Amino acid sequence: MSTSSKLDRLRPKLPRICVALSGPAMLTRAAELAAEHTFFELRLDTAPNPAAILPQLAHLLQNRPQVILIATCRRTANGGHFPGTPEDELHLLSEAAAAGAHLIDLSLETAEALTEHNRAALDALRNSTAALLLSWHDFHATPNLEAVHDRMRPHAPDLYKIVPTATTLRDSFALPDLLEAHSAEQNVVAMAMGQPGILTRILGPRFGSVFTFAASDAASATAPGQIDLRTLRDLYRIENISADTELYGVFGNPISGSHSPVMLNTAFRETGTDAVYLPLETGSADELFETFHRLHLAGASVTMPLKEQVLPRIDRLHPLAAKLGAANTLSRDPGITIAGGNTDAAGIADPLAGCIVLNGATILVLGAGGAARAAVFALRDRGATVAVLNRTFERAQHLAQQAGVTALPRQYLAHCRFDVIVNATPYGMANRSIEAPINASELSCCKLFFDLVYNPLETPLIVLAKSQGIPVLYGIEMFLAQGAAQFELWTGKPAPREAMRQAVLEALQLSS
């Protein structure tokens, strides 16, 4: 059987996602998942005795004939766990082929190390029914991938698997370039490890990768940046991504903890919008705009530390974003223009307006950073009387002066009463232990407390306010309102707020 005919025979049965399984129970897990998924990679090298589980492999294929299996036995020298020689790897993979594995993943380094004698064994493997997938990984960087492909070509594999590590978004652009260059052959599986490479795991099949890899669940990733099956299938809806699917994303650093992909992808799914929203890790405005153009994004969210840095590069800046000195929303205007806006201000004022009449209300904002600035201008513009209190008094004074409101020295707080206190400092954020900006008796001077911190949901100040019988507004309300405003701006459709809320609440519970 010629090599290409092996791939042609398999191709119609291959889903876009291959679930990588590892550990002693990998075949039990494959059997459990087989009801909902059919394509698995077995990392035989992670089993204590790889040869001993081959009868289970054969048994699984007998009972579940729809299942397609890749057998991999990566040696320690190539980043795996198998202590054997190149000959041992080849021998084990030949046995896996005999047991029924459909694809055999042989490392490029192993193929290159085989002696003349063992090349006969490799030829025997080629003549088996299993297709040969030749794989190459770089766990640190993205070198010239075309040179890697050239190195692989003499071994004439059925499939080329090329997996570098992206340390920047720019690195990850090498993957679509490679896939495009080999689009006629349609025999490359390529993605980048690492957080900036995540876009290549989601968009790989759209770029031309034969499939992509997923973990069986969030705790079982076998490579850095690997996403779990349900997230890739149900949240990113990878089986539905086509050339027509509009691309959006969130830029910032760090980005792995962001709940925006959960919130916005849920909104796209619930409204039947053909769009996907990607986590895009960068702290560089240059790289942000390069990525925006390179991926032809229809829109993007911007978060720390980029909200201010993006301003000079925006073609059409909304006056509110100009006034706040920060943009959190980018949209592609017809043509190539990028418009920038700010939905943080509405994210603060809208939920509050649902609880009290803002016109005439007295409001104290804690903090003088970006979130505080959005709060001060938004609430002032809705007719509230605003005061700012900040750890560094000069920054409070500066913001107060710009907005035409009052800077409050902390010692006067004991003598004041407010309708609302808004916490716009990071105090209470998960994994940050800093001094509280306000104490229990000072907090008691308000009728409503709004904590902009949303992770965790129950912040120390929310707990304190509730213990004093003060009604509270949770930070998730701002997060949802600014995200819903972005969705509505981009799509012109009403945001499915309840579904977005449930998705974010679930994600917050899982991450706590």
- Interatomic CA distance for residues 391 and 410, integer angstroms: 9
Which of helix, strand or coil describes residue 128? coil
Give the torsion sign (CA, 400, 404, 408, 414).
negative
On the 0-12 / 13-18 / 19+ scale of CB atoms within 10 A, 500 is buried
Is 307 assigned a catalytic role? yes
Cα 330 off chain centre by: 18
- Name the residue number minimizing CB distance to ligand NAP: 369
User: Are 201 and 213 spatial neighbours (Cβ–Cβ below 8 Å)?
Assistant: yes
User: Of 37-45, 215-223, 229-237, 419-427, which segment contacts ligand NAP by CB under 6 A?
Assistant: 419-427
Residue bearing tokens 């004939």? 65
- In the complex, minimum distance from the CB of residue 278 to ligand NAP, in angstroms, rounded to a whole number: 19
Which residue in 425, 473, 484, 504 binds ligand NAP (CB under 6 A)?
425
- In the complex, minimum distance from the CB of residue 389 to ligand NAP, in angstroms, rounded to a whole number: 9
Rank residues 110 and 258 by Cβ distance to ligand NAP and give the closer one. 258
On the 0-12 / 13-18 / 19+ scale of CB atoms within 10 A, 144 is exposed
454 binds ligand NAP (CB under 6 A): yes
278 binds ligand NAP (CB under 6 A): no
- In the complex, minimum distance from the CB of residue 382 to ligand NAP, in angstroms, rounded to a whole number: 18
261 binds ligand NAP (CB under 6 A): no
411 binds ligand NAP (CB under 6 A): no
434 binds ligand NAP (CB under 6 A): yes
Which residue in 478, 500, 503, 508 binds ligand NAP (CB under 6 A)?
478
- In the complex, minimum distance from the CB of residue 436 to ligand NAP, in angstroms, rounded to a whole number: 7
390 binds ligand NAP (CB under 6 A): yes
427 binds ligand NAP (CB under 6 A): yes
Rank residues 205 and 428 by Cβ distance to ligand NAP and give the closer one. 428
User: Of 105-113, 165-173, 246-254, 420-428, which segment contacts ligand NAP by CB under 6 A?
Assistant: 420-428
User: Of 67-75, 117-125, 211-219, 449-457, which segment contacts ligand NAP by CB under 6 A?
Assistant: 449-457
- In the complex, minimum distance from the CB of residue 429 to ligand NAP, in angstroms, rounded to a whole number: 5
Within 10 angstroms of residue 78's Cβ, the number of other Cβ atoms is 18
Sheet of 362-366, strands arranged across: 406-407, 385-389, 362-366, 418-423, 446-451, 472-473
Which residue in the list 307, 323, 447, 493 is annotated as catalytic? 307
User: Are 469 and 449 spatial neighbours (Cβ–Cβ below 8 Å)?
Assistant: no
User: Are 191 and 161 spatial neighbours (Cβ–Cβ below 8 Å)?
Assistant: no
Rank residues 112 and 394 by Cβ distance to ligand NAP and give the closer one. 394
**Burial readout 322-353 (b: 16 or more C-beta within 10 A, e: otherwise):** ebbebbbbbbbeeeeebbbbbbbbbbbbbbbb
326 binds ligand NAP (CB under 6 A): no
Which of helix, strand or coil describes residue 425? coil
435 binds ligand NAP (CB under 6 A): yes
Q: What is the DSSP string of 177-210?
A: HHHHHTTTT--EEE--BSGGGHHHHHHHHHHT-S
Q: How many residues bind ligand NAP (CB under 6 A)?
A: 26
Q: What type of residue sits at position 105? A: D
- Interatomic CA distance for residues 89 and 187, integer angstroms: 23
475 binds ligand NAP (CB under 6 A): yes
Which residue in 251, 418, 479, 487 binds ligand NAP (CB under 6 A)?
479
Catalytic residues: 307
Q: Which residues bind ligand NAP (CB under 6 A)?
A: 347, 367-372, 390-392, 395, 424-427, 429, 434-435, 437, 452-454, 475, 478-479, 482
